[in-house]
Amino acid sequence: MKQPFKSGARVRIAPTYHWAQSALATVREPPDYILELADGWKGDVREVPSLKGLLLFQWVEFDVPQQDADGDGPYAGGEIELDHLEAAV
């Protein structure tokens, strides 16, 4: 299983992800209002059970606010599935 990034790590969202494709971002602890709304957060990683097994997400702050797949936004941050985050170089 892919290891989560540490808070403060610079990442790029995969170009194949369903939103924020190829956006640059920084991994952060999720804001308090997100912790109140969404279960499964353990530090800066959210564990979500699914039919495919356990999915891991991390909260990121985008360098440039992003529209979601429905065209809503722009959003300054969001949770992104760990499998679709890569280290920014």
pLDDT digits (tens, 9 = 90+) for 2-29: 899 999 999 999 999 999 999 999 999 9
Report the distance separating Cα 31 and Cα 86, nearest Å: 22
Cα dihedral sign, 89-25-32-38: negative
Longest alpha-carbon distance in the chain: 33
Report the distance separating Cα 18 and Cα 45, nearest Å: 19
Q: Kindly state the tokens that stand for 21.
A: 């494709």
Residues 6+ away with beta carbon under 8 Å from 12: 22, 23, 24, 25, 85, 86, 87, 88
Phi and psi angles of residue 53, each rounded to the nearest 5 degrees, phi first: 110, -165
| Per-residue pLDDT tens digits for 28-87 | 999 999 999 999 999 889 999 999 899 999 999 999 999 998 999 999 999 999 999 999
Q: What's the pTM?
A: 0.92
